[in-house]
Amino acid sequence: MFKQKKAVKQGLHIIIVGCGKVGSTLVEILSNEGNDITIIDKDPAIIESLTNTFDVMGIEGNGASFTTQEEAGIKKADLMIAVTNSDELNLLCCTVAKQVGNCATIARVRTPEYNKEVQYLTEQLGLAMIINPEYEVAKEISRILYLPSALEVSSFAHGQAELIKYKISEDNPLNGIKIADLSTVIKTKILICAIERDDKVYIPSGNNHIQAGDIISFVTPRKSVKDFFTQIGVKTNKIKDTMIIGGGKAAYYLANMLLNMGMAVKIIESNKSRCEELSILLPKAIIINGDGTNEELLNEEGIDCVGSFIPLTGIDEENIILTLYAKQVSKAKVITKINRINFRGVISKLDLGSTVYPRYITSEAIIAYVRAKKNSMNSNIETLYHMYDHRVEAIEFNIDKESKVTGTTLAKLPLKDNLIIAFINRSGKVFIPSGSDCMMVGDSVMIVTTHTGFDNILDILE
């Protein structure tokens, strides 16, 4: 045991087993949100680093060991999160925890064979959740490819609403428009809920103007997305083919999704035996055995005329260089996967197209679960999404019962500043509310804010 906590915080007692990229991200966010965190890892250097940086307790050992879990306080824990590199170890950690304690359990499971059995494993082992970073990354990339004009696409209201990030160009008809006057330019109902300008992010009001270079995030019902882009003169042509560099699990999941969308897929992978596996797993894809960072090979395989280009190697620097090269020699839609978060300020200034961060995609579902478990049950968090380097949160709440926010028009609610109510989903119908609308029991409501840590719909009130 390396470090005793300074004080008991008001929050959940959470045990995190495995402190790699995802584990350390969870430690940072969940400890900052006031939870009582104990970490378990076999590497003493990792434990020492995290316990010196954050107010957490660290234990060196095997997370599946009854003795280790007991030392970590499993009998009083609210939640065990197992995110080691081994699927089997994660499942075993959760199984032991369920036997010893009375806590909820979350396991990271990445193997494709297990991914087909998620529901069975969840039910049989009594897990609260199974998370699969590579699968979630593939889903995010496939959403972006479905709408290639966007930088990011996130789904809410069970897929009925989209939150879209988009960069405004000089010749865009929205350039110079006052937000209150949007309806004079476009007939599609959208709500601009965040703007990034000169590295600053803010929640806009109707008096703000849109400028060239702005990165805006807007919400609209899913069925209206393509209408919006058509009205501002942006083509939303379907991408017909893609080139993926690297043949790991994320590449497999993504290729499967894109093939099912009718897209032609080419994967370049350096490991011959992995190529043979992929040829069997993905008979409709073209699998090339070669070095995906070789300029000559990329040119031979048609990088200059491909519809989309996605480097999914395990090395961030390679992914970044490949993206920059693709943008130089082609008009492909490029999406860059970045595992580490070092130098994000520098990376954000590079023209990398869309970027995905697996550790954040994975952690968001867990953070949403933790906040929902902490709250006072006036509402539950349905979806949580971080934007603009965690400076903005989009949260969808389910409203379970009457409270101070229900039955009163939005115009009369004492809402906090830097916050906007983006949509209301009522009986499966999504609409962007006006000041005369009100929230009702049974609604799901999405808010976008620069505040952090909301776990209850009542947090929106002053």
Q: At 106, which helix (H) or strand (E)?
A: strand 104-108
pLDDT at 377 over 60: no
What's the pLDDT at 352?
86
Q: What is the DSSP string of 193-233?
A: EEEEETTEEE---TT-B--TT-EEEEEEEGGGHHHHHHHTT
What does the chain come to in residues?
462
What's the pLDDT at 2?
43
Contact between 289 and 272 (Cβ < 8 Å) = yes
What's the pLDDT at 343?
67
Contact between 275 and 287 (Cβ < 8 Å) = yes
Summarize pLDDT for 30-41 with one digit per residue, the tens: 999 899 999 999
* Alpha carbon of residue 134 to chain centroid: 12
- Mean pLDDT of the region 366-394: 83
Going along the chain from its start, the domains and CATH numbers come out as 13-131 (3.40.50.720), 150-231 (3.30.70.1450), 241-356 (3.40.50.720), 374-460 (3.30.70.1450)
Joined tokens for residue 329: 């020699």
**Residue 44 one-letter amino acid:** P
The residues pairing with 221 across neighbouring beta strands, listed in sequence order, are 161
What is the 8-class DSSP label of residue 335? E
State how far the Cα of 151 lies from the Cα of 172, in Å rounded to an integer.
16
What's the pLDDT at 103?
93
What is the percent of the chain where pLDDT is above 70? 96
In the block, residue with structure tokens 């065990």: 80
pLDDT at 180 over 70: yes
Parallel, antiparallel or unpaired: strands 191-197 and 241-245 = unpaired
Summarize pLDDT for 60-78 with one digit per residue, the tens: 999 999 999 999 999 999 9
Contact between 107 and 93 (Cβ < 8 Å) = yes
Under DSSP, is residue 115 helix (H, G, I), strand (E, B) or coil? helix
State how far the Cα of 112 lies from the Cα of 215, in Å rounded to an integer.
36
Joined tokens for residue 250: 């994320």
What's the pLDDT at 361?
85
Query: Between the CA of residue 211 and those of 169, 182, 422, 423, what are the distances in Å?
Result: 8, 13, 21, 24
- Mean pLDDT of the region 198-216: 93
Q: At 122, which helix (H) or strand (E)?
A: helix 118-125
Joined tokens for residue 378: 């006036």
pLDDT at 1 over 80: no
State how far the Cα of 101 lies from the Cα of 94, in Å rounded to an integer.
10
What is the 8-class DSSP label of residue 453? -
Angle between helix 133-146 and helix 249-260 axes, rounded to 10 deg: 40
* Alpha carbon of residue 150 to chain centroid: 15
* Alpha carbon of residue 27 to chain centroid: 17
Half-sphere exposure (Cβ direction) of 436: Cα atoms closer than 13 Å: 0
Q: List, in order, residues 6 or more apart from 403 with CB less than 8 Å away.
A: 378, 379, 457, 458
Give 237: exposed, middle or buried? Use CB within 10 Å, 0-12, 13-18, 19+.
exposed
Instruction: Name the pLDDT band for 342 (thresholds 50, 70, 90).
Output: low
Q: List, in order, residues 6 or more apart from 356 with CB less than 8 Å away.
A: 137, 140, 141, 335, 336, 337, 338
Summarize pLDDT for 114-129 with one digit per residue, the tens: 888 999 999 999 999 9
In the block, residue with structure tokens 């036997």: 99
Least Cα distance to 358 among 7, 25, 14 occurs for 25
Contact between 303 and 279 (Cβ < 8 Å) = no
What's the pLDDT at 422?
96
pTM score: 0.86
